[in-house]
Structure 1
Amino acid sequence: MKKIINQTDDIIEEMLRGLSASYPKLVHRVEDSRVIAKNESKKQVALVSGGGSGHEPSHAGFVGDGMLSAAVAGDVFTSPTPDQIQIAMKEADQGEGVLLLVKNYTGDNLNFEMAQEMAEMDDIQSEIVVIDDDIAVEDSEFTAGKRGVAGTVLVHKILGDAARAGASLEELKKRGDEVVKKIKTIGLALHAATVPEVGKPGFELAEDEIEYGVGIHGEAGYRREKIQPSKGLAKELTTKILADYEKQPQKVGVLVNGMGGTPLMEQFIFMNDVLNLLKEQNIEVTFHKVGNYMTSLDMEGVSLTLIDLEDETIKDALESEVTTISW
């Protein structure tokens, strides 16, 4: 294993120190915690998210005006603890309540719900939006139901815009539940991630193999096969996602997300193939995003996310200006 680290036990601590020291005008680290919060807070509903480390820039990279109020980091691929989530809620709360944005994993759901109960004792009102955009598999070793993956970042953006515009906690909860239903994602891997504490890849793929539907923690997908050109990969994921919509949308947004170890050159090639496929089906793409947003350490691969944009207000929210590290 070759990693640019010091001691494996210090990875999260040193990462958070480096992150907050690199962007002191945008964010700060709450003392003696794993919480990154935005510097300037106005009176609005606070948005708090988080999860296991290893998915950078998620989630701290999306803290700032127009997106998250605070993010909390767990150990690598491990949910943050309830007490750390509670610290994030207290730091972010401006008296208008806190909306928790939670990826659908068993540990995250349990810990965020426990933190919600703890925050009630501090008179902090809160609601939870659970994000389960991964349609590749219904259940995995970490989840009951669908997993939360790259579409989470789009939810941060859409609800961040609504919160900044003054939406209430109840309105944001309703909006979030509606938006999640419009987002669908599938990923694929060429090579597994290596968790530093483990020191070897989480699963093995032959030199000429890929796996469709793999999760952001290395969870199993739905099929392995020989590697093929980008056009074939794009067709597999695009076709499967469109088939999952009850009514195929005529306007969509496209997010091509790198899993951590895939060059942007390859991501743009893949995006080009997806756009050509959608054009062939007379589906208009009104929002585009390419890059590393929800990674899996050094995994080689990509994920494809489509979001139904028949509702123009969602597109407007995605295109609004924000001040964050990574959007």
Structure 2
Amino acid sequence: MKKIINDPHDVVPEMVKGMARSYPQYVTQIEGTEVLMRSDTDSMKDKVGIISGGGSGHEPTHAGFVGKGMLSAAACGQVFTSPTPDQIYEGIKKVDQGKGVFMVVKNYSGDVMNFDMAKDLAEADGIKVKSIVVVDDIAVENSLYTQGRRGVAGTIFMHKILGAAAQQGASLDEIDKLAHEVLPNIKTIAVALSAATNPEVGKPGFVLADDEIEYGVGIHSEPGYRREKIKPSKELVEELVSKLNDEMKLDGSKKYACLVNGMGATPLMEQYIFSNDVLNKLEEFNIKPAFMKVGNYMTSIDMAGISLTLFEIKDDKWIDYLNYPVETIAW
């Protein structure tokens, strides 16, 4: 294992400290925690707080999206491990402005349990807390760490939309309603060329032969649904879009947002080749995305691979939220 680290056990605290010191205009570390919150506290006044988090190793998610117009705070757990309830609770307390706090949680058992416990602690303090559990991965129904579908890169669209709504003064109930309207319309599927190596484990989560790929893997190296020989980008796109079409019934009369997401070790050159093939394939459905992002947004440490998210836009206001200006490290 070759990593630019010091002690494998200190990866997360050193990373969080490095983010806070490198980007003090965006984020501040909450003392005694691995939680990063917005530095611009003045623009948070009288607004609903939006908090997210999860295991580290998915950078720039989640802390890279903390800032004006997006997340109010992010709790960074150990690598591929949920943040503890007390850390999440500290984040909730710090971002609460008297209007309540909304939590965006990816569907992993530890995350769901620990965010729920933090919610209970906050509500005991009189803080109103609501939440959404993101379940955008269509590859498998149940997987390691998960009951039901996993929460993956589509979570970024949820961060963006809810953050914009909160910044514009939406109430806690309005944000809760918006989140539950948006959720069923976000779908994601991935393909991996190699697995992630957790610094504390020192070896990949699974092994693919030099000429193998795996469809449907998760962001913690959870198993997918099929292995086969490596294919050209066009054929990978054919597989992934076909699965999304089965799920979403793609229709040229509807509007979509698209996210092509690198898993950590996939060069942007390859992501743009893939994106070009995605756009060509969507043209067969008479679809031209109303919004598109390409890059590393929800990674899996050093996994080589890519995920594709499509988001059906059922309200033009959602596009406005996606385009709403933000001040974050990574958007």
Normalised TM-score (structure 1): 0.98
Q: CA offsets per residue over residues 259-283 of structure 1, 9 Å max, x none?
A: 0000000000000000000011112
Q: Which amino acid aligns with 2:28?
A: H
2:316 to 298, 312, 315: 312
Structure 2 CA distance for aligned equivalents of residues 121 and 254 of structure 1? 40
Residue segments in structure 2 that go unaligned for 5+ positions in a row: none
2:10 is matched with: 10
- AA at the equivalent of 1:17: K
Task: Please say if residues 214 and 225 of structure 2, whose CA atoms lie closer than 8 Å, have aligned partners that are also in contact.
Answer: yes
Question: CA offset at residue 247 of structure 1?
Answer: 6.7
Mapped pair 1:166 → 2:187 = no
1:140-196 residue CA offsets vs partner (Å, 9 max, x unmatched): 011100000000011000011111111111111111011111100001100000001
User: Alignment partner of 1:61: what SS?
Assistant: helix
Pick from 261, 270, 275 the counterpart of residue 271 of structure 1: 275
Partner Cα separation in structure 1 for residue 207 and residue 226 of structure 2: 14
Q: What SS does the aligned partner of 1:285 have?
A: coil
Which runs of 5 or more structure 1 residues have no equivalent in the other structure? none
For the pair 1:300 / 2:317, whether they are aligned, the reply is: no
Alignment of 1:18-33 (within 5 A): 18-33=18-33
CA distance in 1, matches of 2:249, 2:92: 36
Which segments of structure 1 move beyond 3 Å, counting only runs of 4 or more? 246-249
**Cα deviation per residue 1:28-67 (whole Å; 9 max; x = unaligned)?**
0001111100012221000000000000000000001110
- SS of the residue corresponding to residue 181 of structure 1 reads helix
The offset of 1:310, in angstroms, is 3.8
Q: Distance in 1 between matches of 2:326 and 2:245?
A: 30
1:280 maps to what in 2?
284
Deviation at 1:309, TM superposition (A): 1.7
The one-character-per-residue Cα deviations of 1:97-150 (angstroms, maximum 9, x if unpaired) are 000000001110000000000011211100011101000000001110000000
* Distance in 2 separating the partners of 1:65 and 1:83: 24
In the alignment, does 2:156 pair up with 1:137?
no
Aligned to 1:218: 221
Deviation for aligned residue 1:242: 1.6
Q: CA deviation at 1:246?
A: 5.5
* Distance in 2, Cα, partners of 1:135 & 1:264: 24
Deviations along 1:58-92, whole A, 9 cap, x unmatched? 00000011100000000000000000000000011
Is 1:253 aligned to 2:257, yes or no? Answer: yes
* Matched positions, count: 327
| Contact 2:279 2:288 (C-alpha < 8 Å) held by counterparts | no
> Could you tell me how far 1:258 is from its partner in structure 2?
0.3
The AA in structure 1 aligned to 2:128 is Q
Shift of 1:248: 4.0
Q: Normalising by structure 2, what TM-score?
A: 0.97
Residues of 1 paired with 2:315 and 2:275: CA distance?
Answer: 23
Point out the more displaced range, 249-258 or 61-70: 249-258
Please point out which of 199, 202, 207 is paired with 2:205.
202
- Counterparts of residues 81-92 of structure 1 (less than 5 Å): 81-92=84-95
CA distance in 1, matches of 2:26, 2:56: 20
Secondary structure of 1:252's aligned partner: strand
* In structure 2, C-alpha distance between the alignment counterparts of 1:14 and 1:251, rounded to whole Å: 42
Residue 175 (1) aligns with residue 178 (2): yes
Distance in 2 of aligned mates of 1:316 and 1:217: 32
Aligned residues: percent identity? 59
Q: Distance in 1 between matches of 2:57 and 2:214?
A: 20
